[in-house]
Amino acid sequence: MKIVISLALSVLYLLLESYITATSLSIAFFDALLYHNLIIKIFVIAAFLILPQIHFHKNTQENSEASEDIELEVFKKVSQVITSPIPIISQVNQISALVKSHLKTPCVFIAEYQTNEILILNTDPNLKEFGIKEKYSPYAENLQENSIEYILSLFFLEKRDFLTQKVETLDGPYQAYFSALTRENSSKPFGIIVILSEKEENFEHIIKGLSALIAFSISLHQRKIASEKFQEQLLQKDDTLGIPTNTVLQTIIEREYHRFLRYESNLSLIIIEIDHIQNLQNIFSAEVTLELKKEFSKLITKNIRATDTFGKWTENRFAIVASSIDFRSARSLAKKLTSLLANHRFVKVGKITCSYGVTSLATEDTIATFRKRAEDALNEAIKKGGNAIEVKILV
């Protein structure tokens, strides 16, 4: 049974972690599964498979068979909870209730570290009987050393891992067990689980096992939320042109930059300006120039790859973020668009030309230098009189 649960958790971890990674980085699921954070995955799976066996081996020497069965049942049921499609707060409440019931303890709660506070995730009203608040300030002064608030502050500020100590609560003294929640790829805790017991028990192994499972569940939830927020950002459109905003372009560049650092994948940027746009705005009405930009945006969007993103860079400039191609392919794309414009007549305006600034990401680049080089390339193209493509790269 132990090995079955461990295998199930390992498979679940691989699938969920790879799915969220593939979604957030826009890479193939297979690549996320086999190549992303491979060393970390090996260690996590090893922990799932090996640690429970070590844990139970020790228990056979130190604890009774009944105790082993209880702990195994706790891990089994907690595993079922974290794999169920219910909100994270419901998971926290159910896990706490399971631990209380099986270990026969009066109080269990789980907290998450925020920037400047410790937030209790449980919504159990019975926590008030012990004086447990909804949130704590880790920077509060004059705290009693045997209070829960004091120890929570120590864990938050000193990044502690585990502690058992007598504490005073509104309901009287209890033996408390504190264990930090840590993500699989970080040594920095992001939360804590606390168990209150009426007497001293050998809970260290089980609470550390629980903290690993709970940290796994909360981490997946947080990454899912981050992925959803990222996808929402990508849906932002300019109100007038109906194309991605500059904010979206910057978000994509940042994502692709980190992808470049991890996988050394190519990334190119093409910044475009309609030649003599200021003169056109002086000659034609605002409505006509707006329709020109709309028609121009539709034309460009239809003639780039599905993996490219065309959007608004500034008021009169546009950009194409082209992933997985170098400056040569980006220059070819700019030439294609030049030919496309040469054969297209815009309503009320006629034919137009554009200037293009092209660059590709280099190892020495920051996001700022990458963007600036594309803008400098565009400015040089404009100085040539327009209808020009200028490429600037780091060599």
Instruction: Please determine, for residue 168, whether its predicted confidence score (pLDDT) is greater than 90.
Output: yes
pLDDT score at 235: 75
pLDDT score at 50: 54
Task: Yes or no: say if 247 and 339 are a contact pair by the CB < 8 Å rule.
Answer: no
Task: Yes or no: say if 241 and 297 are a contact pair by the CB < 8 Å rule.
Answer: yes
Q: Give pLDDT tens digits for 313-324.
A: 999 999 999 999
Instruction: Please determine, for residue 173, whether its predicted confidence score (pLDDT) is greater than 90.
Output: yes
Query: Using 50, 70 and 90 to split pLDDT, how confident is the model at 184?
Result: confident
Between 8-22, 109-123, 139-153, 220-234, the lowest mean confidence (pLDDT) is in 8-22
The full set of domains in the chain, from first to last, is 2-230 (3.30.450.40), 236-391 (3.30.70.270)
Pairing of strands 162-169, 135-136: unpaired
Joined together, the tokens standing for residue 14 give 């691989």
Instruction: Please determine, for residue 23, whether its predicted confidence score (pLDDT) is greater than 80.
Output: no
pLDDT score at 202: 86
Which residue in 6, 103, 107 sits closest to 48, CA to CA?
6
Instruction: Please determine, for residue 262, whether its predicted confidence score (pLDDT) is greater than 50.
Output: yes
Overall average pLDDT of the 324-347 stretch = 96
Kindly list the distances between the CA atom of residue 164 and the CA atoms of 10, 140, 187, 197, in Å, as whole numbers in the listed order: 29, 22, 20, 10
CA angle 382, 330, 271 (to 5 degrees): 35
Instruction: Please determine, for residue 54, whether its predicted confidence score (pLDDT) is greater than 50.
Output: no
Q: Give pLDDT tens digits for 353-380.
A: 999 999 999 999 999 999 999 999 999 9
The one-letter amino acid code at 310 reads F
CA 22 – CA 37 distance, rounded (Å)? 12
Joined together, the tokens standing for residue 296 give 């121009």
Between 62-71, 166-175, 235-244, the lowest mean confidence (pLDDT) is in 62-71
pLDDT score at 57: 45
pLDDT score at 63: 47
Task: Yes or no: say if 302 and 76 are a contact pair by the CB < 8 Å rule.
Answer: no
H helix or E strand, kind and range, residue 191? strand 189-197
Percent of residues, the chain, with pLDDT higher than 90: 62
Global pTM? 0.56
Greater model confidence, 251 or 235: 251
Task: Yes or no: say if 223 and 20 are a contact pair by the CB < 8 Å rule.
Answer: yes
Which residue in 49, 55, 91 sits closest to 71, CA to CA?
55
pLDDT score at 25: 56
Q: Which residues 6+ apart lie within 8 Å of 372 measured at CB?
A: none
Output b/e per residue, 219-245; b: 16+ Cβ within 10 A.
bbbebbeebeebeebeeeebeebebbb
Task: Yes or no: say if 307 and 255 are a contact pair by the CB < 8 Å rule.
Answer: no
